[in-house]
Amino acid sequence: MLPALQTNDTIQAIRDRALWMRRTAFGMVHKAQLGHPGGDFSAIDIIATLYVGVLRFDPARPDWADRDRFVMSKGHATGALYTALCGAGYFPEGWLETYMQPRSMLNGHPNRNYLPGVETNTGPLGHGFPVAVGIAIAGQLAGADWRSFVLTGDGEQQEGSNWEAAMVAGHRKLGRLTLIIDRNRLQQGAGTEETSGLDPLDAKYRAFGWEVVEVDGHDPEALLAVLGATPGDRPRCVIANTVKGKGVSFMENQAKWHHGVPNDEQFAQAMRELV
């Protein structure tokens, strides 16, 4: 059951929501025998912080003009996104039971034509970030006060489209845009630095005119301080250092859990550890 939001203690509310999201998302993956739980678990604390403590939205009005925009560029991590949207009130909890089932609105990649709260369809990596830059440009041209947030995987940063987007955002000084990089250092099959090295990510983004902040991606207090900070006059890149599979011992820092699915024994063990 979804935990009640503790408005008097946002940090604890984020922790409670993240725990519920992990347990629920893993149950969804276990039932469907499909999904990407490793990347779900590295991103969940970030996404819980956004939806509990940062984003301005109204689930009764998904297209509310003054909402903050969140783009899930690492679109394969739908367990994290769907539980966040459900927890935020966009759709009833029962919908989660249909995850990846035939004709379900909860596809393996998010589709804004099916599911309220999804800003844009994502899945092919390197697409969401450029779309988020376009959204931020629209807000800048309109003089709007809403903000745009986009979450990418770190392996996704190997896509050239991201660097075109970063260059445009820096040039246009999109101060109301925040890029969050889920820096778990693993991608499908291997480590990011082994596949195509990304470091130094911070220096690269600074060279493109971005403000850069590094943060523990599993610390709600630190995440809330960074993501909720007042926008400046440059786009902000938040490098969130995370652990793939965070919270489950046999999943942590294991590339095979990028798209691994649990058997009954593994699921039971994970539920014992996620408390």
Residue-wise pLDDT tens digits, 256-270:
999 999 999 999 999
pLDDT of the residue at 4: 47
Q: What are the pLDDT digits (tens) for 173-198?
A: 999 999 999 999 999 889 999 999 99
Q: What are the pLDDT digits (tens) for 61-117?
A: 999 999 999 999 999 999 999 999 999 999 999 999 999 999 999 999 999 999 999
pLDDT of the residue at 212: 98
Whether 4 maps to a domain, the answer reads no
pLDDT of the residue at 80: 98
Strands 211-216 and 190-191: what pairing? unpaired
Share of the chain above pLDDT 70, in %: 97
With the C-alpha atoms ordered 216, 221, 225, 228, is the resulting torsion angle positive or negative? positive
For residues 52 and 17, is the Cβ–Cβ distance under 8 A? yes
pLDDT of the residue at 260: 94
CA distance 179 to 94: 31
Whether 1 maps to a domain, the answer reads no
Residue 6 has pLDDT above 50, yes or no: no
Measured in whole angstroms, the distance separating CA 139 from the mean position of its chain's CA atoms is 21
| Burial tier of 216 (Cβ tally within 10 Å: 0-12, 13-18, 19+) | middle
Q: CATH number, domain at 44?
A: 3.40.50.970
Domain residues for 207?
10-273
Whether 245 maps to a domain, the answer reads yes
Write the CA distances from 36 to 54, 162, 252, integer angstroms.
Answer: 25, 22, 13
The number of domains in the chain is 1
Average pLDDT, stretch 121-133? Answer: 95
Whether 253 maps to a domain, the answer reads yes
| Phi/psi of residue 168, nearest 5 degrees | -65, -45
Whether 2 maps to a domain, the answer reads no
Binned at pLDDT 50, 70 and 90, residue 1 comes out as low
pLDDT of the residue at 124: 87
pLDDT of the residue at 189: 86
Whether 231 maps to a domain, the answer reads yes
CA distance 182 to 153: 5
Whether 152 maps to a domain, the answer reads yes
Average pLDDT, the chain: 96
Average pLDDT, stretch 21-43? Answer: 98
> Residue 244's CB: how many other CB atoms inside 10 A?
26
